[in-house]
């Protein structure tokens, strides 16, 4: 892999954001543990052109640059706050602009946040099917955190941090297998 990258993308539109902080924490942990560079974005970073875009080509330069980084990433960490049992509408709209074939096989670590435990299945019932449509490789361990897992916007729950570390370990297995496959092919 030349200059391998991990990109975090959060479906939140407000700042400060627990979801963005969570996605960024996981993306940076992946980068630190597996020698990748990391960057994290959210809906706010895309600017106003996202809401009016019908195609990726309708995005302004800043939003297109973020989209290109998402598409070029070796690993994606995606997350959304939970609204009425699902991800945010603009999060979905962003991914609606992507050609379905482009994410095929891309490793994606799923995260989500919500006000309580009753939304915990968002990762399995909403995010996993979305990325299944793209034929992406969603990692087996997804991570959901509630408001009580954060203190002053920082993830503090030992149980959630442990689960996130498990997911980060899975990224290592995927990256090692991809590297081994490339070496064997040469």
The predicted-structure confidence for 104-137, as pLDDT tens digits, reads as follows 999 999 999 998 888 888 999 999 999 999 999 9
Average pLDDT of the chain is 92
**Strands 150-151 and 154-155, sheet pairing:** antiparallel
List Cβ neighbours of 32 (8 Å cut-off, separation of 6 or more).
none
Q: Within its chain, how far is the Cα of 127 from the centroid?
A: 10
d(CA 27, CA 33): 10
**pLDDT at 68 > cutoff 50:** yes
The two three-digit tokens of residue 162, written as one number: 């442990």
pLDDT of residue 179: 62
Q: Tokens 């997804």 correspond to what residue?
A: 142
The predicted-structure confidence for 84-106, as pLDDT tens digits, reads as follows 889 999 999 999 999 999 999 99
pLDDT of residue 23: 97
Whichever domain contains 41, its CATH number is 3.40.50.360
Residues 120 and 85 sit within 8 Å (Cβ to Cβ): no
pLDDT of residue 82: 94
| Domain tally, the chain | 1
Confidence class of residue 61 from pLDDT cuts 50, 70 and 90?
A: very high
d(CA 165, CA 26): 8
d(CA 23, CA 163): 13
**pLDDT at 79 > cutoff 70:** yes
Cα 104 to Cα 17, 26, 57, 107, 135, distances in angstroms: 29, 22, 21, 9, 5
Residues 177 and 36 sit within 8 Å (Cβ to Cβ): no
Domain range for 24: 5-185
**Residue 157, SS3?**
coil
- Rounded to two decimals, the pTM is 0.92
d(CA 102, CA 72): 9
């Amino acid at each position: 892999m030349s200059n391998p990258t991990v990109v975090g993308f959060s479906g939140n539109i407000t700042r400060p954001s627990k979801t963005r902080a969570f996605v960024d924490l996981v993306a940076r942990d992946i980068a630190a543990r597996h020698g990748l560079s990391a960057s994290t974005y959210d809906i706010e970073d895309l600017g106003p052109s996202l809401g009016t875009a019908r195609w990726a080509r309708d995005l302004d330069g800043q939003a297109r640059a973020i989209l290109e980084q998402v598409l070029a990433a070796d690993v994606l960490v995606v997350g959304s706050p939970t609204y009425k049992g699902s991800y945010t509408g603009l999060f979905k709209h962003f991914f609606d602009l992507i050609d379905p074939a482009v994410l095929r096989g891309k490793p994606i670590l799923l995260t989500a946040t919500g006000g309580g435990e009753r939304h915990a299945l968002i990762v399995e019932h909403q995010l996993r099917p979305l990325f299944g449509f793209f034929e992406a490789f969603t990692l087996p361990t997804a991570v959901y955190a509630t408001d009580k897992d954060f203190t002053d916007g920082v993830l503090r729950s030992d149980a959630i941090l442990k689960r996130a570390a498990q997911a980060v370990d899975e990224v290592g297995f995927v990256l090692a297998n991809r590297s081994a496959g490339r070496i064997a092919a040469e």
